[in-house]
Amino acid sequence: MVLRKVLIVNTGGTLCMVHAERGNPLSPLVPAASWEEIVAGHPILASEILGIEVGYRAVSQLIDSSQMQQEHWQEIARIIAANYEDYSGFVVVHGTDTMCYTASALSFMLENLGKPVILTGSQRPLVEPRSDAAQNLVTSLQLAGGDTFGYPVIPEVCIFFRDYLLRGNRARKLSASGYSGFESPNFPALATAGEHVVVDKKLIRAVPEGRFAANTSLDSRVMVLEIFPGFKPGVLRRLVEEGGAEEDAVRGLILKTYGTGNAPSNRAFLEAVGGVCEQGVVVVNVTQCPQGMVELGLYEASAGLLQRGVVSGVDMTPEAAVCKMMYLLGQGLPTEEVKRVMQMALVGEQSMNIYSVALGGLDDPLPLAGPGAVLPSEIRMDALRSAILRLRGVQSMGPVMAESEVELRLFLNSTEVADSPDVEETHCAAVVRRPTKGGEEFDVVCDVSAASRRLLRPGQMISVAVVSAEGRTVRWRSMHLTLYSDVS
């Protein structure tokens, strides 16, 4: 049998601790001096018993993972890159406290990863009799060894802990001390390890076509803010205020909101968030809930954030959102590009891609199609979950008798809206009724999913027309089409 080669990259953490006084289980735990010392007394970790040829590298200094910094991620990524061709897979031994951050960061940094990188650790050190370390380590090594044991190659950064192999950028540490310490609330486990290890092949990402490279450019000028009832908006303004050293200027803000992305809709809060966006800070909305996703604009309580330039983090974990932001900011992209890519699933970290298309606004009254925009060519219309059109500052004017109702018809990609009934049937995307006094401004949000599936083509021009059934003149200040497409 040809043994697969797996490299252990040791960063430290509890798994590697030993008793200060060797042989005295009551003495304090300290980092071990060598790997031999850690695995002494564990014959199951010998290559011939594991069925894998195990290599070993340690980072320059073994640490408790609470000390992790971006320099450590860069070092891990470089070690993997330097040994990439020589090994079938990698197991990163890591403390549990920040394991989800490291896994998330590596998932973005290790571009076009075609081999397994599995992070593992333990709640008790390997040297202890009741330790959970040996099983975590053995299963991780075997999963990283792949086809020797009949497992598929899992070309992803994962976390293995206790019974589950989780996608690293979906995982969260849920228990400070439980042996089942990690979960992946928004994505199923990639594999379950009981008596048998069962890998769910349909969840595993395909081996990428591009060339593997470790991209170690990161920008950590990122902040996380969890809102709570009573939050004072002025505090946010102070936090990101201009002035001070450029190297300390916040460039990305992860806003942890309620439920499906809701936040206070009072003026002071929205102005504070809007002010942050205007300063060029990328603001991403993720939910405080352990499970579920942000649906920006679904309720009034999140529409204001959307209008001020906040983008959706969909169902990303806060850890993944922080690391994705650091990675994208590190690429030196313009703010608008960071915002655009932030809403795309790069390595399976979120369940949907969001495409926001600004359709512009017009000052002239118009009965027909607006200026339009090109639909991104990469969007897959067969995976379209929904399409939402938001019009801001629509005015209905003209002969209004008394208080009455206005009926707005929205047409997609139509140039002959006015009188053809056929065109109405096929191109009418939505009909919205609302009370009006005439002349006032209002916002319209409508679901145009069905019409989008029918009428929109990737890479082609789209336009929207708004017509009042009563023959009034309609115009809008801004119009956005947001398309939500499932990631396969």
Q: Write out the residues near ligand ASP by the rule CB under 6 A.
A: 13-14, 64-66, 95-97, 121, 123
Cα 362–chain centre separation: 34
Q: How far is the CB of 121 from ligand ASP (least distance, A)?
A: 5
CA distance 158 to 428: 46
Closest to ligand ASP by CB, 123 vs 356, is 123
Closest to ligand ASP by CB, 60 vs 488, is 60
In the residue annotation, 482 being an active-site residue is answered as: no
Residues 426 and 385: beta-carbon distance below 8 Å = no
CA distance 27 to 449: 64
Q: How far is the CB of 14 from ligand ASP (least distance, A)?
A: 3
Closest to ligand ASP by CB, 179 vs 212, is 179
Burial class (CB in 10 A: 0-12, 13-18, 19+), 15: buried
Which residues, at least 6 apart from 152, have a Cβ–Cβ distance to it below 8 Å?
A: 146, 199, 201, 204
CA distance 4 to 370: 60
Amino acid at 46: A
Closest to ligand ASP by CB, 66 vs 377, is 66
Q: How far is the CB of 94 from ligand ASP (least distance, A)?
A: 7
> Cβ-closest residue to ligand ASP?
95
List, in sequence order, every beta strand (DSSP E) within 126-251: 157-161, 164-167, 172-173, 182-183, 191-193, 197-199, 213-214, 222-226
Catalytic pick from 11, 14, 102, 257?
Answer: 14
Closest to ligand ASP by CB, 13 vs 313, is 13
CA distance 73 to 89: 18
Closest to ligand ASP by CB, 121 vs 318, is 121
DSSP for 252-266, written as a single string: EEEEEEBTTTB---S
Amino acid at 154: I
φ, ψ of residue 210 in degrees (nearest 5): -70, 175
Q: How far is the CB of 160 from ligand ASP (least distance, A)?
A: 14
The token pair at 336 is 């608008």
CA distance 7 to 145: 10
Cα 94–chain centre separation: 22
Handedness of CA 377, 381, 383, 387 (dihedral sign): positive
Closest to ligand ASP by CB, 96 vs 356, is 96
Q: How far is the CB of 13 from ligand ASP (least distance, A)?
A: 3
Amino acid at 194: G
Q: How far is the CB of 175 from ligand ASP (least distance, A)?
A: 11
Closest to ligand ASP by CB, 11 vs 414, is 11
Q: How far is the CB of 104 from ligand ASP (least distance, A)?
A: 15
CB atoms within 10 A of CB 174: 14
Which residue is listed with tokens 């019409």?
A: 451
CA distance 444 to 440: 13
Residues 284 and 322: beta-carbon distance below 8 Å = no
Q: How far is the CB of 215 from ligand ASP (least distance, A)?
A: 25
Which residues, at least 6 apart from 193, have a Cβ–Cβ distance to it below 8 Å?
A: 139, 160, 163, 164, 165
Residues 449 and 406: beta-carbon distance below 8 Å = no
Residues 291 and 329: beta-carbon distance below 8 Å = no
Closest to ligand ASP by CB, 113 vs 171, is 171
Q: How far is the CB of 381 from ligand ASP (least distance, A)?
A: 45
CA distance 87 to 84: 6
* Residues catalogued as catalytic: 14
